[in-house]
Structure 1
Amino acid sequence: MKKKIAKLSIQILISGFFLWLAFRHVVWGDIITAFSLIDVKYVIIGTVLQSTSFFIRASRWQYLLSPVKKISYGSSYQVMTISYAANNLIPLRAGDILRAVLIGNKEKISKVASFSSVILERVADGLTMLIFLIIGFVNLHTESLWLTRLMYLSILVFVTCIVFIVILCKYQQSFIHFLGRMISKKSEKLADTATRFMQNFLVAFQVVQSKSMLVKILVSSLLIWGLEASLFMMIAKSFGISEHVFLLGIVSVAIVNLGIMIPSSPGYVGTFEFFCTLSLGLFMIHSSQSASFSILVHVSQYIPITVIGCIMWLSLTLSNKSSRQRIETIKDESV
């Protein structure tokens, strides 16, 4: 319990530090003025567009889980929205683990295999962010040192991930056999456990062996993050920003989502605002307006999926309760 409290305290401190970085030069009166001048219709349009990305996310997760089991679209959407709401409410990205547990229980599949599909999803997201970042870097003609370093670091990380995944898939059986043989020198039981774990973990990785599935995952990822970027574009228009709106959208969504990989409090408070204001600085948007922008984008993202996820959690809970009651009724009747 003490360790959990300590970890949460550290995350809150990290969030506080990034909030200070984001807002240290802000004049709060200017933020209030900026909010009073926004065009609400663009905020609504952007929020709706961004929320529809979860319909495509649910389909993409079906593709990623296809080597494990063909799950229904309803199950995919329900569990996915719950996991995103959990990430907004629970620390340490616990929603990702919760997603694997819930879909494992609901569809009777390996939780380890389910979690590996979530990892693949994160890699697909990261690669899409990298594509957006490169497009922005080429078209902005910026000499920003931090952006250059972020791009090259992202290339290094995600290219390494791809190479590692490809090697694992190609030499899957050899790797499992080698792992089992090495561990068996100390414990046969532990070797069997590790072997079963890796076999389950690598099942979802088989999706990369299908070219058609890879195309579906790539196209759906571009659509998902295009819709995510549209929220940034619409918020920009709501503040009266009209220049380079497309580039602003794809660059900002990329930088923000790479930035929130840094551990922080639930809902990515602080890291989201800092990296959003940092990205807007590339477009010469002053501190008070970029602070207002970051707050509005974050709220527009946070509230809809958190509400939808909580509703899905309630429906899943009621469904499970109803199922247990039916089972108990059948047992009573059989007696």
Structure 2
Amino acid sequence: MKKHLKTVVGVAATVFFLWLALKDVEWADVWRHLREADLLLLGAAVLVSTVGMHIRAMRWKPLLDPVAPGIGWKPRIAGVCIGFGANNVFPARLGEFARTWVLARQANVTLSAAFASLVLERALDGLVMIAFLLLAMSLPGFPELAAGGPVDLQATVRVVMAVFAVLMGALVWMAYFPARAASVAERVAVVLPSAFRRPLVDALRAFLAGLHVLRNPRLLAVSVAWALFQWAFLAGSFVLAFRAFGIDEPGYVGALFLQSCIALLVSVPSGPGFFGPFEAASVWGLGLWGVDKSRAASFAIGFHLGGWFTVTGLGVYYAARLNLRWRDLRRSETRVEEAVETDPTLNPHARPH
């Protein structure tokens, strides 16, 4: 029942965001832009995006070092590719659990420890995305939006800065008072439907267990540096994809901004492959630079599909090499949740099987 509800919510979000992104486009213009796209530049954009998968596998190592030092390259890259490939074909971000399970299966690390490192990685991603939003909106290349207009730039920057400050403060508080943070979260989560309450509480427990990185200055610096490098590098794929579709106005500043918007929006529940949130963020974000909806939609469709096929192909390749079945990956969520629930280091009330 829980999985069915998450699937229904995800598919509904996908349909809504696709409608929001594509409701006013001229489809004849969209197809024309797709046919006229520079395939060489689009291929280069997809290649840069794919290299980003390997950077993510490299940055996973320092996050794992406190609990499982010396994990090799092959388990990490296999976990990343299979996880992101699974996200493209299964709803409700099932690939996050598949990535955890694959790593634990191939390396000497527990499921709960692997999951803790992944949750922390996602938290760092969110903070870096907010930082890049602030950076992009403060640079000269960002569109001038008058106060009182549809989007008040100064007010938006102030709101983003406030959110960033609150998140940083919450992160420090949780790092030094994990038991109290878990207690507060469990009391608040009581109001949520059971289908969502357990995954959120489990994720928080795992996240709190992974916060040891924040108490190690060297590991923290390395982890943040990797996150900054990864997303700064990936912004280059957006610049190449812009040019493939004849979009010159946003440049690298627009790439940082749009990438951050997409990364934050796809964190909401959606269907397989994050279709819908990706397109909605692209059309809205490029509209700030005056790019018409049809051209922005063609960029979103072309770039998104190019990355989808490549990442899914890598996931299938690594799953085949490891003799994994997609049925096994579908069960990974249950396995990870059970591991977190029964790990006494994450759950003081755990009762091991």
TM-score, with structure 2 as normaliser: 0.77
Change (3 A) 1:153 1:265: farther
Task: Give the 3 Å change call, closer, same or farther, for CA 55–237 of structure 1 in structure 2.
Answer: same
Give the match for residue 92 of structure 1.
Answer: 92
Any residues of structure 2 matched to 1:7-86 within 5 Å, and which?
7-70=6-69, 71-86=71-86
Alignment length (residue pairs): 300
The residue that corresponds to 2:229 in the other structure is 223
Change (3 A) 1:177 1:275: closer
Distance 1:150 1:262, change over 3 A: farther
The AA in structure 1 aligned to 2:145 is T
Decide whether aligned partners of structure 1 residues 278 and 168 sit closer, same or farther in structure 2, where only a CA change above 3 A counts. same
Structure 1 residues 201 and 271 mapped into 2: Cα distance closer, same or farther (>3 Å)?
closer
SS of the residue corresponding to residue 67 of structure 1 reads: coil
Match of 1:207 in 2: 213
CA offset digits 1:67-98 (Å, max 9, x no partner): 11121121111111111111111111111122
Aligned pair in 2 of structure 1 residues 167, 5: CA closer, same or farther (>3 Å)?
Answer: closer
* Superposed CA offset, 1:300-334 (max 9, x none): 2211111111111111227xxxxxxxxxxxxxxxx
Give the corresponding residue for 1:302.
Answer: 308
Aligned to 2:331: none
Structure 1 segment 115-130 matched on structure 2, within 5 A? 115-130=115-130
* 1:100–1:151 distance in 2 versus 1, CA, 3 Å: farther
The answer (yes or no) to whether the contact 1:54–1:81 under 8 Å persists in 2 is yes
Q: Does the 8 A contact of 2:84 with 2:315 survive in 1?
A: yes
Gaps of at least 5 residues in structure 1 are: 180-196, 319-335
Gaps in structure 2 of 5+ consecutive residues = 185-202, 325-353
**Residue in 2 that maps onto 1:111:** 111
Between 1:275-284 and 1:299-308, the stretch displaced more is 299-308
Change (3 A) 1:231 1:30: same
The residue that corresponds to 2:329 in the other structure is none
Q: Tell me the secondary structure at the aligned position of residue 261 of structure 1.
A: coil
Q: 2:145 aligns with which of 137, 142, 150?
A: 142
Is the contact between residue 112 and residue 201 of structure 1 (CA under 8 Å) also seen in structure 2? no
Paired position in structure 2 for 1:162? 168
Q: 1:175 to 1:125 in 2, by over 3 A?
A: same
Q: 1:85 to 1:34 in 2, by over 3 A?
A: same
Return the alpha-carbon distance in structure 1 between the equivalents of residues 271 and 153 of structure 2. Answer: 25
CA contact (8 A) 2:17 2:280 kept: yes
Deviation at 1:55, TM superposition (A): 1.5
| Cα pair 1:54 1:224 within 8 Å, conserved | no
Q: CA deviation at 1:6?
A: 4.0
Larger Rg: 1
Tell me how far apart the structure 2 counterparts of residues 114 and 226 of structure 1 sit (CA, whole Å): 25
Aligned to 1:270: 276
Deviations 1:146-183 (CA, angstroms, capped at 9, x unpaired) = 877776665555544433332333345x759999xxxx
Matched, 1:243 2:249: yes
Match of 2:132 in 1: 132
What is the CA–CA distance in structure 1 between the aligned matches of 2:90 and 2:17, rounded to whole Å? 19
- Which whole-Å CA distance do the structure 2 matches of 1:178 and 1:285 have between them? 47
Q: Percent identity over the alignment?
A: 27
Tell me how far apart the structure 2 counterparts of residues 152 and 177 of structure 1 sit (CA, whole Å). Answer: 29
Secondary structure of the structure 2 residue equivalent to 1:317 = coil
- 1:181-196 equivalent positions in 2, closer than 5 A: none
| Distance in 1 of aligned mates of 2:117 and 2:155 | 29
Structure 1: how far apart are the matches of 2:93 and 2:156?
A: 22
**The structure with more helix, counted as a fraction of residues:** 1
Q: Are the counterparts in 2 of residues 21 and 274 from structure 1 also a CA contact under 8 Å?
A: yes
Moved more, 128-137 or 141-150: 141-150
Aligned pair in 2 of structure 1 residues 84, 154: CA closer, same or farther (>3 Å)?
Answer: farther
User: 8 Å contact 1:66–1:207 — kept in the other structure?
Assistant: no
Partners of 1:296 and 1:10 in 2: CA distance: 26
Where do residues 271-290 of structure 1 align in structure 2 (5 Å cutoff)? Answer: 271-290=277-296
Determine if contact 1:126/1:158 at 8 Å carries over to the other structure. no
The TM-score normalised by the length of structure 1 is 0.81
What CA distance in whole angstroms lies between the structure 2 residues aligned with 1:6 and 1:150? 34
